[in-house]
Amino acid sequence: MILFTFNIVNIEADTKNQFQISVEEKLKITEDNTKAILRILDIHDIKGSFFVEISIAAKLQNIIKAISSKGHEIAFYNEHSNLSETEDSKKFVQELLEKPIKGIRQKEHKLPQEDLKLLEFNYISNIDNADILFPLKRLKRDTEIAEENGMSIIPESISPYSQLPYNDLVFQILPMKFYRNMVFETLKNDDFVLIYLNSWQFTDFTKYPFRIPFYRRLNSGKKMEDKLDALLSWINEKKMATSRMKDYIF
C-alpha cells in the first residue's frame, strides 16, 4: 500500500533583497500550491491525506473544504501550537467539515501522547527534520505501526536497501527512475510506503525570492508538479494500491 500525505504549511524562509511578502500573500501561495496538488491527484483519481498546519487552519477554510469535498483526508500538522490551540483548531475544523479529525503529525514540537489521546486523535504520524546530511543519521529504524495507549503510531518509511527515508527532500532531489525502484523494492519488504511532501515545495521560486538552500530550489515549483504527476502515472500503470491514512489504519 502507498500512503500519499501532504503537509499544508506556509513557507517560513526569509526573502532576498528586503523583498516584502505579507502573511496574506504567503497564505495565497499555500492555497495555490495546494490546488496544484489537488489537480494532479484528481487527474489520477488517487486519494491522499492532507496535514494542515494548526496555526493557519482557520485561515484556510475554503481550501480545507475543497480538499475534503474531493474525498481526501484532513489531518493536522503541529509546528508550534500548544494543547489549547490544538483543541480549539480541531473543534473548529470538525464543525466546518462535520467530520472528525483523526490524525496529527509533529516534528520538532511534540505534544504528549496522553494529551493527544484526550483530544480524541486516533493516530500520530511524526516526522524528522530533512536536511542534506540526513543519510549520515539513518542506519536502521522500525517501520512497523505500533499501538500505544490506544493510539496508532505511524513511523516514517525507509528503504530497506538504500536506507533512504521517503521524506520531502528525497522525493525532490532523487531521479524519478531511482525513486520508483526504491518504492517497488520497499513494497516487497514492507506492508506500506508512507510518502510525504510539503506544499511549499510547489512554490515558483523564480517568482517569489525566498532565501532557501540551492538543493531546496532544485525540482521545485512546476518541476515538483511534474515529478508528482510522473510518479502517480507510474503507480496507476503498475496498478499499485493507494490509500488515505485513516482508511489504511482503521
Domain membership of residue 71 as a residue range: 2-249
Q: Work out the percent of the chain whose per-residue pLDDT is above 70.
A: 94
Can you tell me whether residue 240 is helix, strand or coil?
coil
Question: How far apart, in whole angstroms, are the C-alpha atoms of residue 145 and residue 139?
Answer: 19
pLDDT score of 143 more than 80: no
For residue 141, what pLDDT is reported?
A: 60
> What tens digit of pLDDT does each residue of 88-132 get?
999 999 999 999 999 999 988 889 999 999 999 999 998 876 555
Q: Name the residue type at position 223.
A: K
In order, the DSSP letters of 154-168 are PPPPB-TTT--B-SH
Q: What is the CA radius of gyration of the chain?
A: 17
Place of cell 503498475: 238
Can you tell me whether residue 153 is helix, strand or coil?
strand
Q: Name the residue type at position 38.
A: L
| DSSP 8-state symbol, 200 | G
Specify the pTM: 0.93
For residue 8, what pLDDT is reported?
A: 98
What does pLDDT average to over the chain?
A: 91
Question: How far apart, in whole angstroms, are the C-alpha atoms of residue 52 and residue 42?
Answer: 19
**CA separation, residue 11 to residues 29, 33, 74, 157, 209 (Å):** 9, 11, 20, 24, 12
Structurally, how many domains does the chain consist of? 1
Domain CATH number, residue 25:
3.20.20.370
For residue 86, what pLDDT is reported?
A: 97
For the ranges 31-45, 68-82, 152-166, which has the lowest average pLDDT?
152-166
| DSSP 8-state symbol, 218 | T
**C-alpha neighbours within 13 Å on the C-beta side of residue 78:** 25
Q: What is the mean pLDDT of residues 172-183?
A: 95
Question: How far apart, in whole angstroms, are the C-alpha atoms of residue 240 and residue 221?
Answer: 26
